[in-house]
Every structure is written in C-alpha cells, then in structure tokens.
Homo-oligomer: A and B are copies of this chain.
Amino acid sequence: MGATQRPTIKTVAARAGVGRTTVSRVLNGSPLVSDEARAAVQAAIAELGYVPNSVARSLVTSRTDSIALVVPESESRLGSEPYFSAVIRGVSGGLAGTQIQLLLTLVRDRRELDQLTRFLTARRVDGVLLVSVHRDDPLPGLLEELGVPTVLAGRRSPAESLSHVHSDNVDGASRAVRHLVDRGRTEIATITGPLDMDVAHSRLRGWREALRDAGREADESLVAPADFTEEGGRAAMRVLLERRPGLDAVFVASDVMAAGALAELRGHGRRVPDDVAVVGFDDSIVARHTDPPLTSVRQPVEEIGRTMTELLLREIAEPGSARRNVVLPTSLVVRDST
C-alpha cells in the first residue's frame, strides 16, 4: 500500500529513453555504451532511486555474490571465541569493497550438517570458508566433491589438497620453547590440543623440535593431550604434575587451556613463574588477564581471516586455478608467567 512499486530495469530504460540492454550495460560497466546514453541512464537511476534486483541477476548468472563462513559449533563453544570473532573481522575486512555478502553457518549436529549439505548442493553460495578442521571432518571432502571453491583455516593434514591459511604453528611453538630454554628451564612439559587436529600436531612438533635442538629431553611423559577447553587444560596439568613432579615449565597449546593449567598449578601450591613457567598460545584477551598475565604466542588471526577471503575470492574468480596455501608468522608476547 502507499509505497509505489520499486523501479525495475524497465522503468529506468523507459525513463532514460533507451532499451533494457543499455541500462544493463551501464550497470555492469560495459564500454559499449555512448556517453550520452550512459549519462541518461545514470540520471534516470538517480531520479528513480533504482537499485538492481540481485536475486534476478543471480538467477541468470548463477552467481550469488555471497560466501559462507562455516563454523563447527565445538569451535565456537570451546572458549576460542576471541579467535572466532577476530576471524570474522578479518573476513569482513577482506570483503570490504566488494558487493559480496557473508553468511554465517554454525553446524552443531547431524541435522544441521545435512541442511548445510543441501544448501551447498543448491549452490546457494559462491564459496566457503571453513574454520576448525578436524582430521576426519566430512565437510572438506564434500566441498571438494561438489567443486565449491573452498578455503580452510588450518588443514586436515600436512597433505591438505584444499587451499588453506594458517599460522606457523611449528615455529610459534618452537619460539615458545626456546624462550623457556633461554630462561633456564630444564624440564619443559606441554599440553596439546585435540590430536585429531593438525594444529595440535604442529604445535607439538614445534615443542619437540625445539627441545631436540636444545639437546633437551622430549619424553612422552612430558606430553599431555587436552581439548582446548579450560577444564581440559586443568586436568592435563594435574596429570603432568603427577607424572613429572619436577617439571619447571609448560608450553600450553592455547591460552584458555593455559588458564586452566594456571589454576591447577596454584591449587598445588606451585608459584608461577618462580616454580613453573607457563606459555600459552593465541595471545587472546584471556592472556592479558590471567594471574599472572600469560606469556603467549601471538598469531595474526584477523589477517588469517582476511587472507582466506582473498584466496577464496581469487578461486571464485578463476575457477580451476591452482590451490594455494599461506602460512603466516607468529610472534612471542612475553608477560609475567615466564
């Protein structure tokens, strides 16, 4: 009622005294339009407040001008929230200047996975960014099969066939351990992420390599796997203290787990850093507020999001181009826990 019908390309054409096609050409920046026609069309568009109907465009071009960021629920629940929003910010930044919209899809159960599958099969998005990949995640394979352009944050394994972006986890972990060695620590344990994730393996490898290079012990009894949660970090710390009561340092594969480890250490009367030094990973907001503030390996999360987006846009623009992967550098932020 009241509001007059939204103008279509036809209205604009009539107003400008040209054909539909010419309007379309102006809209899409074709050079095959005379200056006067272009001016007339632009004037008409302005007068009518015309906004093209992108649904109609999608129908014929079969592009949607949107991408999906897919997040397995576990990821967002398990305290990695700062990571999550930084990625979003990066993605959004990478999309700035394009007309491309971002869809956010949390997948928390089988039903939602099926729904997502249908959605992807229907080609409702031009591409997918996938965060938090586990070794036998079905989604990457599905995406590959469907031929949907995809970029992963992280990888299923070192042999990942899809494009992906991640930070240099091995080097970051090594840095952390070298720092502990430099501080004179001798019995350096580690708490890892879930070992069905490559990121956990890489950080573990960094720990191993740094210890080996320093000629220190890298015994399995110094390794306790956890699940990236605070409670998990706490439990792993308990196990380590039992197994290796003499340990004087721990490299923890995430800040949130490190927070749990700190609590457990406190519970056992160990002083940090005097008795035990602790390094986390992520340099998230948590690291600044623990007691004591946590030395942590900083990874450029926002940049990961931005880079993923760039790779994805390229893959969409040039289908069939080679898969790429980008490794971004980490750095160590030293605080009071070491």
Task: Check A122/B92 contact, CB under 8 A, given A82-B81, A147-B3, A291-B291.
Answer: no
Q: Give chain B residues whose Cβ lies under 8 Å from the Cβ of A49.
A: 121
Does A11 make an interface contact (CB < 8 A)?
A: no
| Chain A positions near chain B (C-beta within 8 angstroms) | 3, 6, 49, 51-56, 58-59, 64, 66, 69, 76-77, 79, 81-82, 84-85, 88-89, 92, 96, 99, 101-106, 108, 112, 115, 118-119, 121-124, 147, 259, 285-286, 288-292
Chain B residues in 8 Å Cβ range of A103: 66, 101-104
Least CB distance from A315 to B in Å reads 18
Asked, given contacts A59-B59, A289-B259, whether A104 binds B122 with beta carbons under 8 Å apart, the answer is: no
Query: A96 to chain B: which residues have CB within 8 Å?
Result: 108, 112
Stoichiometry, as copies per complex, reads 2
Alpha-carbon gap, A212 to B54, bound state (A): 57
Verify A122–B51 contact, CB threshold 8 A: yes
Which residues of chain B come closer than 8 Å to A64, judged between CB atoms?
55
A121 CA to B7 CA in the complex, in Å? 11
Q: Are B104 and A88 in contact (CB under 8 A)?
A: yes
Contact B59 A55 (CB under 8 A): yes
Give Cα distance in the complex from A96 to B103, angstroms.
Answer: 15
Q: Please name 19 further chain A to chain B contacts, defined as beta carbons within 8 Å, in addition to the given A56-B59, A84-B85, A289-B289, sorted by A numbering.
A: A6-B123, A51-B118, A52-B122, A54-B122, A55-B64, A59-B59, A76-B89, A81-B82, A81-B85, A81-B285, A92-B106, A99-B115, A101-B105, A101-B124, A102-B103, A103-B103, A285-B286, A286-B286, A289-B290
Among B3, B79, B84, the residue within 8 A (CB) of A285 is B79
CB pair B76 A85 closer than 8 Å: yes
A291 to B119, CA, bound (A): 46
What residue in chain B is nearest A119 (Cβ atoms)? B101
From A112, A121, A289, residue with most partner B Cβ within 10 Å: A289
Most buried by B among A3, A59, A290: A59
Top 9 A-B residue pairs of the complex, sorted by shortest distance between their CB atoms: A291-B291, A92-B106, A51-B122, A81-B85, A104-B104, A289-B289, A55-B58, A289-B290, A51-B121
Q: Which residues of B contact A104 (CB under 8 A)?
A: 69, 88, 92, 102-104
Bound CA span A96–B114, Å? 12
- Residue in contact with A105 in the complex, picked from B3, B99, B102, CB distance below 8 Å: B102
